[in-house]
Structures are given as C-alpha cells and as structure tokens.
Structure 1
Amino acid sequence: MEIEIATIGGYEEVGRQMTAVRAGEDIVIFDMGLNLSKVLIHDNVETEKMHSLDLIDMGAIPDDRVMSELEGDVQAIIPTHGHLDHIAAIPKLAHRYDAPIVATPFTIELVRQQIQDEGKFQVDNDLVKMNAGATMAIGDSEQVELEFVNVTHSVIDAINPVLHTPEGAVVYGLDKRMDHSPVIGDPIDMDRFREIGREDNGVLCYIEDCTNAGRKGRTPSESVARKHLHDVMRSVEDYDGGIVATTFSSHIARVKSLVEFAEEIGRQPVLLGRSMEKYSGTAERLDFVDFPGDLGMYGHRKSVDRTFKRIMKEGKENYLPIVTGHQGEPRAMLTRMGRGETPYELDDGDKVIFSARVIPEPTNEGQRYQSEQLLRMQGARIYDDIHVSGHLREEGHYTMLDALEPQNVIPAHQNLQGFSPYVDLCRSQGYKLDRDLHVTENGNVIQLVE
C-alpha cells in the first residue's frame, strides 16, 4: 500500500499545525490550527469574519493547496486536542472536505464552539466523539484503522492518533508530556505505545513535536506545578491586599488548583475573561472537573467590570480573580488591569501570580514584557514561572523512540532551528538525515512506501 505524508503546517513555525497521511486511497488529516502570533501583530483582527485565503496569505492558517497532490479521499479530520494552534483553522478549512471531524469529547465541544463563532463559512462536517483507547475503521478497505492513545498535555482529553496500515503504524505524536501523576485524567498510556511498537509491522513513521527537545532531563508532572503553586499561595496567605492570578484558560487542571487554593487561604475565586469562561464552563458541563457551586465565571466585558466593582466594594482581600492575559494579550483582562482600564485598582504590594511561562516567540515575549511593566508601574509584585511545560524534554523523547522503534521519524511543531536538537537526538539513536529522518517544510509530500 502506498503511504504518503503531506506536511502542511507547523513545519516552519510553532502553530498552524496540519498534517495529512494517505494510505492507499484513504486520507486522514491531523489538526487544523492557527498561528496566533500572525494575528496578534495586527490591531483588532477578527478572524471569524476573515476569508481563509486572507488568513493563508497572513501565514495564520495552513495553506492546504498541497492536498490536491494526494490521490485519494479524505475520510476523517482528527484534531488531537483543544489548543487553538490545533483546532482554530477548522472553521476556515474543514468545509472543503467531505469528511467527519473525529475527536475526544472535550475537544469536539471546543471545535463545535469554534464553528458556531465562525462568521464567513458554513461548516457542516459531522462531529464524531471518540474516546482515548477506542478505534474506528477508515475507508471501505478494512485495511486502515484509526486508534486514539491517551496522552497527557496542558489541556485535558488529549490523544495521539495512530493510523494502522498494512505497512505499519503512523503515529502522530503532537503534543504531550510524560505525566504519570496528572491532576486531572489518566496517565499517559505508555504500555499501549510499547505494544504498538512491537506488533505487526511495527511503526512505519513517527511524527514528533520538538518544542522542548533541547532541554535536558524530563518534563515534570502537573502534580509538581500544583505543589509549587500551593507553596506560593500559602506564602501570601496573610497578605491583606489584592492577589490576582493568571494562567492558560485551557489549562483546566491549573485552574482547578487555583480555585482550590484560593478557598484554602480564605479567598473567593472568580474566573474572568471570555476564554476562561469558555474552557472552564465546558469542562464543568462535561464533568471533567467539579468546581464549587458558587464559583463565578464571567466572560462578557460588562459582567467582568461589574464583578471588579463588587470586589473593590467588598474588599480585594476577600477575592482571588483568576484572569486571562498571561501572555500579555492586548485585549485580555490582566492587560486591561495593567493599563488601568478596569474598576479593579492595583496598589503597592499587590500580588500578580503568573502560573504560566511566556511562549518563546517574539510577539508574545514583547507583549508579556509590556504587560509586566505596566503592572509594576502600578506597584504590583510579580510571581513568575509557576508552571510545567506540556511538552516532552530530552529524556521523554528518548523514551518514546525506545517504545515505538519507528522506521522513519519526522520532526514537527518547530522551525529549522527548533528541529536541530531533536535531529541530533535522533542521530544519536542511529537515524540518518534523508534516509529515515526527514526534516521537511510546509507544503511538502514525503512518500514512505511506493
């Protein structure tokens, strides 16, 4: 059976992930994401109202014209998890393919919301839920099967999809960390990865996220970040002024920890910001997390400002606002607070807890720097880097290569500079460039089996 892989997006940058695999006459697409930095550098861009061609020209979503080079029919679109760099182009591109969108329940619900917000295109693809551990047939030949393997990441309900073919398995390894004691959900299913590496024809190809490949050691568990956060929260327990926290809105485990620790130190938690309300509300509705019944979630600006006024009236010392804005996004709540555009007034000594790292990209780094400076000018004291990454470090990559023993490896989720540590790592394990280690770019097609 002919096997081809089209590397469509995410092979020259971090963001706008999209990869297609053709097995015979059947094609499966993994991810359709957004490069948010290409949007943030423009003022007041509303992607929901923009045409896909304009977003492609901006470098914001994948240029999927290479799909015309693949001879076959798209049978499924598979977003691996709910981050925007993996799902936010679905409303712009999915309608071009007569195929269902198949994902885990939390991811499917986020995709549904993305589609509902779309203002330019009508997206009528079927939305199909499939849990980690489940399989489904692809096409009519009964020779190709899709499997979801549970992984741990900085968003819940993440999977690595595996396409089983007569020539071996294609494992799409974006994005994960090796967490054996997660705060929410099950540990990464390393037993299943090892089985896949040793059954039938083994693993024909492994496509891997290279984000932290140059960092030594292993990525700590989310339980480590939880302990760090707990220590910080207890250290400010006796402070009688304002404490504000921010983290990734999609990081439900971290939000859960913030809510629990706020109550432990005698403060009422409240979630503020559109994306904070969206992700946490969805997770609670689908029973992934059990928040206190009186937890307020407010996304609309007027509702947020009313909440800020209530906090100022009743006393900042009684509340912990958990807000959007950890990357310094211009319209996020924390950025507005730093600019003095909300009723919440920061005083000398007030604490701002960043339970997130800056995404290492110039736009984010610049905006985060500006946000921190604005907060400091108002007297805020900043607690930084209370976080663990959602991506594998060096030892995690060694472990995955040992588990899967792939015949071919394709680095992804980076630019050429970002690929280099992973390339060196693979070469140390016997892989060779242009033989079984394929460094590629957006828009290329790699033929693995002719």
Structure 2
Amino acid sequence: MDIEIATIGGYEEVGRQMTAVRAGDDIVVFDMGLNLSKVLIHDNVQTERMHSLDLIDMGAIPDDRVMSDLEGDVKAIVPTHGHLDHIGAIGKLAHRYDAPIVASPYTLELVREEINDEGKFAVDNDLVEMDAGETMAIGDRCELEFVNVTHSVIGAINPVLHTPEGAVVYGLDKRVDHTPVVGDPIDMQRFREIGREGDGVLCYIEDCTNANRKGRTPSEAVARRQLKDVMHSMEDWDGGIVATTFASHIARVKSLVEFADDIGREPILLGRSMEKYSGAAERIGAVTFPDNLGMFGHRKSVDRSLERVMNEGKENFLPIVTGHQGEPRAMLTRMGRGETPYDIEDGDKVIFSAGVIPEPTNEGQRYQSEQLLRMQGARIYDDVHVSGHLRQEGHYQMLDALQPQHVIPAHQDMEGFSGYVSLAKSRGYTLGRDLHVTSNGNTIQLVE
C-alpha cells in the first residue's frame, strides 16, 4: 500500500498545524490550526469574518492546496486537542472535505464552538465523538486509534493510523505525565505495544517545541504544588491579587479556584476564552467547579464584576483572567492600561501561571504587559508553570517505546528542530534516509 505524508502546516513555525496521511486511496487529516501570532500583529482582526484565502495569505492558517496532489478521498479530520493552533482553522477549511470531524469529547465540544462562531462559511461536517482507547475503520484496510496523552489541555490524544505497512503515529502535543491533576495519565503501555505489534511503527511525527531543552518536563502535580506555595505565601496580603493562565488549561484553572478558597478569596473567571473553555469542561462533566463560581466573558458583565470587586474590596477576591501572553485585547492587558474598573495599586500581586510561548510576537507583547503592570506598582510572580511539551528525555522515551522506522519533526522552525535532529541521530536515524526534516507544503513518500 502506498503511504504518503503531506506536511501542510506547522513545519516552519509553532502554529497552524495540519498534516495529511494517505494510505492507498484513503486520507486522514490531522489538525487544522491557527497561527495566532499572525493575527495578533494586526489591530482588531476578526478571523471568523475573514475568507480562508486571505488568512492563508497572512500565514494565519494552513495552505491546504497541496491536498489536491494527494490521490484519494479524505475519510476523517482528526484534531488532537482543543488548542487554537490545532483547531482554529476548522471553520475555514473543514467544509472543503466530505469527511467527519473525529475528536475526543472535550475537543469536540470546542470544535462545535469554533463552528458556531464561524461567520463566513457553513461547516456541515458530521461530528463524531471518540474516546481514548477506541478505534474506527478507515476504508477497508486501515484503522484509526486514539491513545490517551497528557498535555496542558484536557482531552488530548495522539491518533494512530494503523495500515498494512505499519502504524503512523501523529505525536502532537504531549508531555509524559504520570500524575496529572485532571484526567488519566499518559498511556505509555499502549505506545510500547504499538511499537512491537504487527509491522511496528512505520512513521512517527513528533512535536519539537521543547526538543532543545535538557531533562524531562515535570508533571502538572509539580505546577500545582508550586502554585499552592505562591498563593499561600500571599494569605496575609490585604490588597489585590490577580492570576492569569491559559484559559484552556483546565487543571491549572481548577487549582487556582481551589487555592483562592484556601486563602479566603472568591475566585472569578474573567474573559471570553476563560468562560468558553471552563464552561465547556463543566458542560461535559470533565471538571466540577463550585456552584457559585462566576464566569464572565462579555465586556459589560466583566466590568460589572470588577466594579463589584472594587466596591466590596479587592482583598476578598481573586480575578482569574485572560492575557498571560500580553494579548492586546485580553483582560490583563486592559487592566495594565487602566481600561477596566479594577485599580492596580502599589504592591498588588499578579501571578503569571503560564510560560511565554517562544515566538517573537508573544515575547514582545508579554514584556509590554508586564511593564504596564509594574508601572502601576504591581509585583510580578512569573512562570508559575510547567510546560505541556516533551523535553529531550521524553523524546528519548517515546523513540524507545515506538521504535519507528521513520521520524518527522514538527511544530517548530528549523532552529527548533535542531535539538530533535541531534537526539534522533544519536538513536541511529539519518537525515534524508529515515529522519525527514521538511517544511510546509511538502509530501514525503514512505512506501510506494
């Protein structure tokens, strides 16, 4: 059976992930993501109202025209998890393919919201829910399997396409976490089984975000302990405390809510994406929040909540807000610019329970946001966080488990691939033979 990989997006940057695997006449598409930094550098861009071709020209979504070179039919569109760099282009591209969107329950809930928000195209693809550990047929000779992984969003999976030539494992995004705060641990046993059953693993496509970093990525349990230590150290502070994290990081939001109660403050979730992600997690029963937890996304309701905080005393509340990357229209950035009813005063604490995404736009915006906050007297608690991506020891662990015949680095630029290339070469892989460093818009023929 012919096996061909189209590396459509995410092979020259962190963002706009999209990969297609053709096995004979059947094609599976993994991810349809957005490169948010290409959007944020423009003022007041509303992607939901834009045409896909304009977004392609901006470099914001994958240029999927290479799909016309693949001889076959798309049988499934499979987003691996709910981050926008993996699902943010579904509203723009999915309608081009007569195929269902297959995802884990939480990811599918977020996909529904993306489709509902889309203002330019009608997306009528069937939505199929599949849990980790389940499988579905792809054509007559292939099978799709979901393997549970741990990441900085719940419901993450690594999809595996089982073909007569061996398995193709799409390894974006994950860390090896045996003690997650929400959800099940990564299923390393299943990865080891896949590496040793049948014809083994034909190809492994791997996220290289932290491949230049030594050691292993700590568990979310480590971040939870770190966050608890920071917040309990503020127990006697009688001024304002504000926290920010990834809205999609439900485990971290859950910890913030719990520790706010521990130190006698009422948590409030503020910002459109904070309401979106936490509300979706609660609707599907993935997490339980206190009945009285406020979630406010619209500007007027957010401002009313902050007016209440100011009237009743900042010392009684913990606003948990968007803006950890310094996004210009996010809540924390607006606070720093003095555009909300919340007054940041000398000595007030701001907890960044998030790292800076390693990309120049984010780094610049985050720096600006922190400077605005400091100018008002805020004290910054930085990087109370662990990454959702593998470091080098995790990559070694995955290669040892899967023992793939071919490896394709993804989710980075050429500089970001360098660490992974070195460690893969140390495991016996050779550039141009079975280690394929590629770019957007290319195809790699694995089996003819």
For residues 350 and 442 of structure 1, the distance between their equivalents in structure 2, rounded to whole angstroms, comes to: 45
Structure 1: how far apart are the matches of 2:48 and 2:362?
Answer: 21
Q: Which amino acid aligns with 1:339?
A: R
Equivalences for 1:72-111 in 2 at 5 Å?
72-111=72-111
Q: Give the Cα separation in 1 of the matches to 2:429 and 2:177.
A: 26
Partner of 1:223, secondary structure, is helix
| C-alpha distance in 2 between matches for 1:88 and 1:381 | 34
Per the normalisation by structure 1, the TM-score is 0.99
> How far apart are 1:3 and its partner, in Å?
0.2
CA distance in 1 between partners of 2:416 and 2:337 (Å) = 34
SS at structure 2 position matched to 1:430: coil
Query: Which residue is 1:195 aligned to?
Result: 193
Per-residue CA distance 1:153-203 (angstroms, 9 max, x = gap): 000000000000000000000000000000000000000000000000000
Who is 2:157 aligned against?
159
Match of 2:322 in 1: 324
Among residues 216, 221, 224, which one is paired with 2:222 in the alignment? 224
Name the structure 1 match of 2:178. 180
In structure 1, what residue type is equivalent to 2:113?
Q
- Structure 1 outlier segments of 4+, above 4 Å: none
What displacement does 1:241 show? 0.3
The residue identity in structure 2 corresponding to 1:412 is: A
Q: CA deviation at 1:389?
A: 0.2
Q: Give the Cα separation in 2 of the matches to 1:370 and 1:448.
A: 46
2-structure distance, mates of 1:91, 1:287: 25
2:128 match: 128
Name the TM-score, length of structure 2 as normaliser: 1.00
Q: How far apart in 2 are the matches of 1:412 and 1:347?
A: 44
Query: What is the correspondence of 1:39-438 to structure 2 with a 5 Å cutoff?
Result: 39-139=39-139, 141=140, 143-438=141-436
- 1:134-165 deviations in whole A, cap 9, x for unaligned? 000001x2x10000000000000000000000
1:396-448 superposed Cα distances (whole Å, 9 cap, x missing partner): 00000000000000000001111111000000000000000000010001000
CA-based RMSD = 0.4
Aligned to 1:250, what secondary structure does the other structure show? coil
1:123 and 1:286 map into 2 onto residues whose CA distance is: 22
3-state secondary structure, aligned to 2:345 = coil
Superposed CA offset, 1:312-353 (max 9, x none): 000000000000000000000000000000000011000000
Contiguous gaps of at least 5 residues in structure 1: none
3-state SS, counterpart of residue 433 of structure 1: coil
Separation in 1, partners of 2:117, 2:184: 31
Distance 1:421 1:295 in 2: 43
CA distance in 2, matches of 1:134, 1:302: 43
Specify the code of the residue in structure 2 equivalent to 1:376: R
SS at match of 2:302: helix
Question: Following TM superposition, by how much is the alpha carbon of 1:66 offset from its aligned partner in structure 2, in angstroms?
Answer: 0.3
- Deviation string 1:89-117 (CA, Å, 9 cap, x unpaired) is 00000000000000000000100000000
Question: How many residues in Structure 1 have an aligned counterpart in Structure 2?
Answer: 448
Deviation string, structure 1 residues 274-302 (Cα, Å, up to 9, x no partner): 00000001101111111000000000000
Give deviations 1:366-421, integer Å, cap 9, x for gaps: 11111101000100000000000000000000000000000000000001111111
The CA distance in 2 between the partners of 1:198 and 1:361, in whole Å, is 37
The answer for unaligned runs of 5 or more in structure 2 is: none
Percent identity over paired residues: 83
Looking at structure 1, the residues matched to 422 and 344 of structure 2 have their Cα atoms a distance apart, in angstroms, of 48
One-letter amino acid of the counterpart of residue 156, structure 1: I
Give the deviation of 1:214 after TM superposition: 1.0
